[in-house]
Chain A
């Protein structure tokens, strides 16, 4: 398995290069410029700005300059937030995204799997129907509806928790965003777990285990759950990557200083370096998590052999 992991890691570099190449040229091909405003810009100033950021060089030269800087770990200065480098923006923002997103997905996984299993084991009971109805609502109501509602009721009307802001990272400021983010995830994970557990319970090897006279608890934990978790784990890999790198809606509504907004705002403002920085960062995280998922698959599923 170790040699498998090493080989996968070696693939990281060519994959990253492809990601960097595609996003670099796609960003540059989009109309507009990082300096575009409604404000009139004299030609001299445009030229000075372009020279300062090497935008006056041919595109392939710019790409080589970018790769050269990248090789030295330099993501370059942000076009939009000019007082910070892209590396600084990511490292200042990532802890907030990671705390909110990591806790949200952790809580969602625990609750979602537990609720999903409960529903599966009590299939077609009233509690199963309740879980299915609630989770369907959870999936259907988007974050940008749930978040302002939660703020209005809990933050404004009841005054129980802050209505927004980061408050230096105080836990009270994290409750609402974490709960809002977790809600949708709980719904997904619960439905996924339920379906998967039901399917596994019908499989031949479970019937065999039962026929052998294994205690029900052992059948459940050692055999059913092990197989049933596979789809959940393959969902969680990319979901964790997505959620710990921040969510623009949640961050803007709750005022969380994370990096999720940089993906969207960076692209809208044509902040070339910032978008490249967060894309590379995200690519590395998602590749690492996918590797982890594959390794876990091998641990959980005897049919999978990594070679």
Chain B
């Protein structure tokens, strides 16, 4: 009967050989000689359709494929993109963009104002069901179109002629220009979207206007893009091709980097940071990131509705201990909700901290204990608190540390570990007592992206159910204020109130971890963690 084994083995081999050409069809170019960048990109892009994309991996690739009206500078700032210039009316409501006369799509068609009209209408049309349609809520009729009350053609984004685009807003939105960098606002090529429908983002079908064009896409393997010869600044683009790889396993991503297969990674394993600092200091990049790790406190619950209690909890947290001993990845202790680096496109926002930033730890714990004693809690009569977090060793370790920091106050913490989706559901419905959470300004850099999350009318996003009328009033006023400085002042006042009420307790501001080969030039660290390939080059 040994034949049987061979027969079995032979059969499976035959099937394998039969299927091999299917893999080959999708293509693979080795690109040994040309200037090629191999980038780790965290996850498989869920889509390359700007209207459907939601995540950072997609944004990274779309930034290379498409050119938005306004583009990202090498350090995450603002520069002219498909529009070479723009003017803003005095009331801050009308934006007029002058399109680049020499811009063309990758198939040679000119890029006109009409392309942006089509793309923006497509984004807000209800049948597109874009999760980022709300980016155009500030535009006249933007919200009404999503609700199906007004046809998409009524969007106040109008082509005055081929090279002039006019956008009219309901309210002055000083960060509107900053917003226009967002990948969801990338233009799509109307004829190819209409010709290919759902399949317009496939290699061979996709016509784009950015510095690179899509040449290969094998899901879960790689996306390959090549320099676009039709791009208006093609002569400034150094790379011939870029490969994006999904790299969900951080240790594996690091191994591929160390083996020379990746030129830059998306991430680096937090538990190897001490080793990396020691052994690969030239490759390790560890700048601050525009986000905050925090505890959201359910202010609807009677025990937690008292700001004094929340202050006691916030006082007793030794943030330095958490970032030095647990996270170890260059995070900054956080004493404000808005992280450093917020900017509306012209004015820097001054983050407003809690008042105990400089107080020594012993004094803080003493004050916290005094508050708790005043409220009637002690180690004999403890406050029982359930702490919710989603499954992760990091979150668990932080929870354990918090529990031990709160114990001397007379707080008994019970940990509750939830699967990610259940966690999202629980915090959105505010069925938690206290829960860990994180918020990163990947969408835009204005402070309102953080503050509006806890607006009294923010609904489920306001997981703390924070309801301070003055805070809401200041934000409402900021929404309609055209003067950037006055608006920024209002937002700063609002945050100052929030940092007294402490509906959320900030713990640390994030940092990014990334490996960049010493032969890679033009990767400039920035809080927005944005690295467009068009500025990157490979040293000889």
Contacts and interface: CB of A to CB of B under 8 A. Distances in A.
A111 to B, nearest CB: 11
Contacts of A254: 252
Contacts of B9: 106, 109-110
A38 B137 CA distance: 19
B448 to A, nearest CB: 12
A124 interface: no
A106 B22 contact: no
A103 interface: yes
A163 B424 contact: no
A92 B218 contact: yes
A256 B30 CA distance: 17
Interface in B40-57: 44, 46-49, 52, 54
B26 A92 contact: yes
Contact of A109 (B5, B16, B419, B461): B5
B245 interface: yes
Interface in B101-135: 126-131, 133-134
B383 to A, nearest CB: 27
Interface in A172-206: none
A148 to B, nearest CB: 5
B127 A156 contact: no
Interface residues of B, number: 76
A83 B222 CA distance: 15
A68 interface: no
Given A40-B461, A84-B219, A103-B16, 15 more contacts: A31-B422, A37-B131, A42-B134, A45-B129, A48-B133, A48-B146, A82-B52, A83-B47, A89-B219, A96-B221, A102-B12, A106-B12, A110-B9, A257-B221, A270-B421
Contacts of B458: 40
Contact of A257 (B24, B126, B220, B453): B220
Interface in A121-170: 148, 151-152, 155-156, 159, 162-170
Contacts of A44: 126, 143, 146-147
Contact of A83 (B202, B220, B245): B202
Interface string A35-53: 1111111111100110110
Interface of A: 30-33, 35-45, 48-49, 51-52, 77, 80-84, 89, 91-96, 98-99, 102-103, 105-106, 109-110, 113, 148, 151-152, 155-156, 159, 162-170, 221-222, 225-226, 229, 236, 240, 244, 251-258, 261, 268-270, 296, 300
B473 interface: no
B453 A99 contact: no
A165 B47 contact: no
A37 to B, nearest CB: 7
Contacts of B421: 30-33, 36, 268-270
A41 to B, nearest CB: 7
B220 A261 contact: yes
A225 B2 contact: yes
Given A82-B52, A92-B218, A168-B27, A105 B12 contact: yes
A106 B13 contact: yes
B175 interface: no
Interface in B245-284: 245-249, 251-253, 255-256, 258-259, 261
A112 B48 CA distance: 45
Which of A81, A165, A167 has the most chain B CB atoms closer than 10 A to its own CB?
Answer: A165
B28 A168 contact: yes
Contacts of A156: 255, 258-259
A93 B220 contact: yes
A156 B255 CA distance: 6
11 contacts: A32-B424, A45-B146, A83-B47, A83-B198, A83-B201, A102-B12, A148-B255, A169-B24, A236-B8, A255-B245, A257-B221
Given A30-B421, A49-B131, A102-B15, A163 B20 contact: no
B203 to A, nearest CB: 11
A155 B249 CA distance: 16
B219 A257 contact: yes
A270 B30 CA distance: 36
Given A229-B1, A252-B248, A163 B259 contact: yes
B19 interface: yes
B425 interface: yes
A240 B12 CA distance: 10
A66 B459 CA distance: 32
A176 B258 CA distance: 17
A10 to B, nearest CB: 24
B1 A300 contact: yes
Contact of A102 (B2, B16, B245, B461): B16
B219 A255 contact: no
B421 to A, nearest CB: 3
Nearest to A32: B421
Given A156-B258, A162-B259, A40 B49 contact: no
Given A83-B201, A106-B12, A109-B8, A45 B220 contact: no
Contacts of A268: 419-421
Contacts of B424: 32, 36-38
Given A39-B131, A148-B252, A148-B255, A255 B246 contact: yes
Given A31-B421, A164-B261, A38 B256 contact: no
Nearest to A34: B421
A258 B421 CA distance: 24
B439 interface: yes
Q: Which 10 residue pairs spanning A and B have beta carbons closest together?
A: A168-B28, A32-B421, A40-B461, A163-B259, A257-B220, A257-B221, A52-B129, A95-B19, A48-B129, A102-B12
Nearest to A81: B46
